[in-house]
Structure 1
Amino acid sequence: MTVSTIPAAPLIAEDLLLLLFDPRSGTIAGEGTLFYTLAGAVLTELVVEEHVTVDERPTLTGPRVTAVTSNPPADPLLHDVWEPLTTKRQGAQSLIAEVGPQLRGVLLDRLAERGHIHREEHKALGFIKTTALVDGGTSRRAELLDAVRPVLADGAEPTPRSGVLAALLSASGSLPVLDKDIPWSGAVYTRGKELEKGDWGAAAASEAVTRTMLAVTTASAAIAISSVQGG
């Protein structure tokens, strides 16, 4: 019997990466800025689960992030990001740039272990080893799309999870590339930007603090991504 080495509940960043994965082509949308996107998702989860607090006052490296020492995350990936913040708070943008580069591989490992994505080894020209990403055949990505698509395309009020994912997809800048799964339009663009700012509708009024913190973290990710795309 194989014993799983990862927590049962998927991280927001795992679900985000799975949404960005195109099972038709085996590619991931927004590869050029992916580490900013995934790090923004990790930071968002730390905020949403109240493992960290964010001081919204602007600094050169973004809003300051501080660990809530009484509430350590159980997930080992989140814990590795959280632990250094217990002794030194850090700007959100510098934190995103620091933790982002190693996330793609770690999160793909998790998706592979869960069976959502497979890695297939190939040889180009008979000797150059390459790795292709292949759809694992689970229903997880379709379920995520069913939750996120109406939030973006139809203006439906989100659940906390679908709202976070929709906002992060928008902040990633990859929604136009996902047109086959979430039809792209000016309305989808506008809705995504509203979600980034925490505008989730009256039903989410009780989530005001969470929405404010999400707005801070997605804005930090978007600023970082824009600076790379512009350069």
Structure 2
Amino acid sequence: MSHTLAEEYLLLILDDESGKPLLDASSLHTAIAAAALTDLVYDGALEITESDGPVKKGRFARTGRAEPTDPLRLEILEKAHGRKPKDAVSAIGGMFSWSDRAKTLKEQLLERLAGEGVLEQQESKILGIFTSTRWTPGEVDVEREIRDRVRAVLVDGAEPDRHTATLISLLQATRVVRKVFPDADRTVIDQRAKNIAASDWAGTAVRQVIDEATAVMVTTYT
């Protein structure tokens, strides 16, 4: 059972006890937007242009290949086309976006993971009025493999594949590495994550997407 970068990121940043994310909603949605764009790049549906043409240099362009069949992912692809990475991230998941597609995608992914038995949705009432939703581990343990794979790179010094390097870069960008691995040596995992994020393990285009997502989050809180 394979999962997208966005799904793996979600599984890691959900606290197993509280069933809540380890970061604020705005940063989470920005990260989901970056992950969704990266997944489209990896699928071959999206690329960053290297020279001026129908789409200006340094902007996202649809390749016409591997078009997603999911309506929401197709909408994200369409929103990204012709935009700079930073603008695409903001349009899809920024807090100032008129249509926060990342929030909708997050909810869709959570429901899909619950349908696979990976997560369990639990709802409760606050003051008998407001509904609170928790997403706790289900019977199908997918998170363990993801966590072990990332830990092997951050703690044991294993060489990451492209997917794992991207996942670590996203964790680093959203400053949750320590929260995801609270029992590990903070100095070691922080430095390892920074080194991976600064390298080209994930590829130049993907690194640019994550760097731009980080810039969006910094701009939001400054």
- TM bracket, shorter-chain basis: 0.7 to 0.9
C-alpha spacing 1:132/1:148, structure 2 compared with 1 (3 Å): same
Cα distance in 1 for residues equivalent to 2:193 and 2:31: 15
Partner of 2:18: 25
Aligned counterpart in structure 2 of residue 65 of structure 1, from 49, 56, 60: 60
Q: Secondary structure at the match of 1:214?
A: helix
Deviation digits for residues 137-162 of structure 1 (CA, Å, limit 9, x no counterpart):
32101110011111122221012222
Q: Distance in 2 between matches of 1:49 and 1:70?
A: 9
Distance in 2 separating the partners of 1:220 and 1:184: 28
Find the residue that maps to 1:133 and give its secondary structure. strand
Structural mapping, 1:121-160, within 5 Å: 121-160=123-162
Conserved? CA contact 2:200–2:207, under 8 Å = no
Distance 2:107 2:63 in 1: 27
Q: Tell whether the 8 Å contact from 2:171 to 2:177 is kept in structure 1 after alignment.
A: yes
Match of 1:221 in 2: 213
Give 1:92's match in structure 2, choosing from 85, 92, 96.
Answer: 85
Please list the CA deviations of residues 57-81 of structure 1 after superposition, one character each: whole Å capped at 9, or x if unmatched. Answer: 9xxxx94111112342345443221
Q: CA 1:76/1:190 → structure 2, altered by over 3 Å: closer, same or farther? A: farther
Task: Give the counterpart letter for 1:48 in structure 2.
Answer: Y
Q: Which position in structure 1 is the counterpart of 2:29?
A: 35
Deviation of the 1:214 alpha carbon: 1.8
**Alpha-carbon offset, residue 126 of structure 1:** 3.4
* Deviation (angstroms), 1:199: 4.3
**Cα contact 2:44–2:66 (8 A) shared by 1:** yes
CA contact (8 A) 1:169 1:175 kept: yes
TM-score (norm 2): 0.82
Indicate the residue corresponding to 2:187 in structure 1: 186
CA spacing shift, 1:219–1:84, aligned 2, 3 Å: closer
Distance 1:184 1:56 in 2: 40
Structure 2: distance between partners of 1:133 and 1:71:
31
Equivalent position amino acid for 1:198 in 2: S
- Structure 1: unaligned runs, 5 residues or longer: 1-7, 201-209
* Cα 1:121/1:25, change in 2 over 3 Å: closer
Q: Is the 8 A contact 1:35 1:104 kept in 2?
A: yes
Question: Is contact 1:13–1:41 with CA below 8 Å preserved after alignment?
Answer: yes
The answer on whether the counterparts of 1:65 and 1:89 sit within 8 Å (CA) in structure 2 is yes
Distance in structure 2 (CA, Å) of the matches to 1:56 and 1:154: 36
Change (3 A) 1:91 1:137: same
Consecutive unaligned residues in structure 2, runs of 5 or more: 52-56, 94-99
Report deviation, 1:48: 2.1
**Amino-acid identity (%):** 28
AA in 1 matched with 2:40: L
Aligned-CA RMSD value: 2.4
Superposed displacement of residue 125, structure 1: 2.7
CA contact (8 A) 1:18 1:111 kept: no
TM-fit CA distance, 1:17: 0.5
SS at match of 2:131: strand
Change in Cα spacing, 1:25 to 1:121, as seen in structure 2 (3 Å) is: closer
Q: Using the TM superposition, name which of 137-146 and 115-124 deviates more.
A: 115-124
Letter in 2 for 1:225: M
State the SS of the aligned residue for 2:203: helix
How far is the alpha carbon of 1:165 from its aligned partner? 1.3
**CA distance in 2: counterparts of 1:139 and 1:226, whole angstroms:** 34
